[in-house]
């Protein structure tokens, strides 16, 4: 029996030059993002947690995040990049994480330099970071633990989130590059892209740069490309749109007592069957 070869994020990035990722938490959302044209899927810890109505605060286990990412990857022809928070603990946890995610067909992961347990970057609370050398060691362990050269490790600094400034972010990212990271992610929750542009101006381009324009959504993809960014993640827009749509739909049905006024705006049952590949499955019984 042949073994499926999962799509490589490293190869996708090399092929596309600029990779656009959409956040998702289940196979249906991931497939819809693939249909829209995204080059990869971000298995978002915020989305996976929110789908369980739990905070993004290291409450779910590594296994639960792994299951979500693996289910998405099985349904896709594009790669999944797994948001692995702090690596679920110390260096031994990081090594175990790499083994398990790689075995499940995930070809890229992202680790951040916060302390475990971490709190979502946009939440009020403790956003303190690990010592630079301590997190660099995590990156070295992650790279030493992979079994394939295809595996891709993104080192994410939360220096700007913690209020430490651009110079500290640059210093940390150079250390993470020295530790073997394949790309660095620079994160900001400022309402403009200015901090990110300052970072890019000081970065020497030694590794690809990842940005997450959640709080500065007006940064057009053409300008992102021109600024030298290699990967952009739209990390939670799908989840937020789902909440708005479901809230409106359910309220309308309940208040109107029927769903007639919605039918032209919502997917048909036939569209759902197509996403399920119903016809392909039915051929097995033909």
Active site residues: 56
Cα dihedral across residues 165, 170, 176, 182: positive or negative: positive
**109 sits in which H/E element:** strand 108-112
**Please, where are the H alpha helices in 146-226?**
166-178, 194-202, 221-226
What whole-number distance in Å separates Cα of residue 215 and Cα of residue 18? 20
CA 274 to chain centre: 26
How far apart are alpha carbons 97 and 187 in whole angstroms? 23
Among 155, 141, 186, which residue's Cα sits nearest to residue 84? 155
Residue 201 gets which letter from DSSP?
Answer: H
CB 142 within 8 A of CB 148: no
């Amino acid at each position: 029996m042949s073994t499926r070869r999962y799509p490589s994020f490293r190869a996708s990035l090399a092929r596309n030059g600029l990779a656009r990722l959409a956040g998702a938490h289940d196979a249906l959302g991931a497939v819809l993002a693939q249909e829209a044209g995204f080059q990869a899927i971000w298995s978002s810890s915020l989305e996976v947690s929110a789908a369980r109505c739990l905070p993004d605060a290291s409450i779910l286990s590594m296994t639960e995040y792994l299951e979500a990412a693996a289910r998405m990857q099985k349904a896709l022809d594009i790669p999944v990049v797994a948001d692995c928070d702090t690596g679920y603990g110390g260096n031994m946890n990081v090594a175990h994480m790499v083994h398990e995610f790689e075995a499940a067909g995930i070809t890229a992961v992202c680790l951040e330099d916060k302390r475990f347990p971490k709190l979502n970057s946009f939440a009020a609370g403790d956003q303190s970071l690990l010592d630079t050398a301590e997190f660099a060691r995590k990156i070295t362990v992650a790279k030493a633990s992979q079994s394939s050269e295809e595996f891709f490790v993104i080192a994410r600094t939360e220096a700007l989130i913690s209020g430490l400034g651009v110079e500290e972010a640059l210093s940390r990212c150079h250390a993470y590059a020295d530790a073997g990271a394949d790309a660095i992610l620079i994160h900001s929750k400022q309402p403009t892209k200015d901090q990110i542009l300052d970072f890019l101006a000081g970065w020497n381009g030694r590794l690809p740069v990842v940005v997450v324009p959640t709080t500065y959504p007006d940064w057009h993809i053409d300008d992102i490309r021109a600024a030298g960014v290699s990967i952009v993640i739209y990390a939670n827009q799908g989840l937020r749109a789902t909440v708005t749509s479901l809230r409106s739909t359910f309220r309308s049905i309940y208040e109107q007592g029927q769903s007639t006024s919605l039918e032209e705006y919502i997917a048909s049952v036939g569209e759902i069957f197509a996403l399920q590949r119903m016809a392909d499955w039915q051929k097995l019984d033909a």
